[in-house]
Structure 1
Amino acid sequence: MTSLAPARSAGDAPARDAAPDLSFLLDHTSHVLRTRMSAALGEIGMTARMHCVLVKAAEQERTQAQIAELGDMDKTTMVVTVDALEQAGLAERRPSPTDRRARIIVVTPAGAAMAARSQEIVDRVHREALESLPEPTRTVLLDALGALAAGHLSVPDDASAGVRRARQ
């Protein structure tokens, strides 16, 4: 069967707004930052998720479910992460004093030392990224991202419930 529509060539891309591709810019820089963070934390045998769990558990008494929510982790990922922390002697699960079904994540002394080391690494990676920008730009970037995260982009669309998040 012959098509009556003319063949499309590479130069026939749909017209787009002249504005920069915000999705690409945010995705690309976030991806590169995550890979740098992963490599830096990997040098001390940590992952970003392990760091997140240790820091959130050290801040105050929290259940496994509360930390999973704060770290945007699904239940399975959280269980695997806490299992790894327990196996390394960095954290342990204890029954919640207020809900017998829940488990509190408690950071061990070794875990507290590791959380301090990993926080230094996280701070360094963030600092290096920000220091690559001129000073006035850093403030503008952080203010703008903070405003988006607290405002227009603070909550996913309802339609996103069926969309899979990118692996981190």
Structure 2
Amino acid sequence: MTSPSPGRPSDLMFLLSWASHALRVEHAAGLAELGISPRGHCVLLRARIGGLTQRQIGELCGVDKTTMVVTLDQLEAAGLARRVPSPTDRRARFVEVTAEGERVLDQAQQIAGRLEQDVLAAMPETEREVFLRAIQRLVGGRLSGGGACGGSGSVC
């Protein structure tokens, strides 16, 4: 992608997709210096709160089971996280962030914070908070899950 060219000026799906892609690319480039991916960053961030299983973290990060296993294998190999058996369910594994993982996660959060500030600085200051509230409302409401596809009111 080199420049946006939506089908019409208000093509919401295109614009959100374009913005998401651009942010993912910049986020991945920033995290590369730490040796982690945006997915690894998400997993470490969710695991940091503690008490969550591998499956729960996968759901919070929007990662399928197979991808979650691969991601955790990478984080464990790098010494950033570890899987701990659940004392109550032999099939479940809790994910813990190691001390090195905490250090890397702190740096990743700084990188993400700088990226967010840089992106928002491209907007007039008066529009930033309005934009954030609006996108949070969409993601927390109408766009919080799978949408209307497959449901009784399917539009797909």
Classify the TM-score, shorter chain: 0.7 to 0.9
**2:65 is the alignment partner of 1:75:** yes
Cα drift, residue 98 of structure 1: 2.3
Cα drift, residue 155 of structure 1: 2.6
Aligned amino acid, residue 72 of structure 2 = V
Structure 2 unaligned spans of 5+: 1-6, 152-156
Aligned amino acid, residue 127 of structure 1 = Q
Aligned position for 2:3: none
Q: Which moved more, 1:56-65 or 1:151-160?
A: 151-160
**2:106 is the alignment partner of 1:116:** yes
**Deviations 1:5-35, CA, capped at 9 Å, x for gaps:** xxxxxxxxxxxx9761111111101100110
Consecutive aligned runs of 4 or more in structure 1 exceeding 4 Å deviation: none
Structure 1 unaligned spans of 5+: 1-16, 162-168
Aligned position for 2:136: 146
Aligned position for 1:62: 52
Larger radius of gyration: 1
TM-score by length of 1: 0.81
Alpha-carbon distance in 2 for matches of 1:158, 1:133: 31
The RMSD of aligned alpha carbons is 1.8
Q: 1:40 aligns with which of 24, 30, 55?
A: 30
Cα drift, residue 130 of structure 1: 0.8
Cα drift, residue 158 of structure 1: 5.3
Percent pairwise identity: 46
Alpha-carbon distance in 2 for matches of 1:84, 1:102: 19
TM-score by length of 2: 0.87
Tell me the matched-pair count. Answer: 145
SS in 2 for 1:159: coil
SS in 2 for 1:125: helix
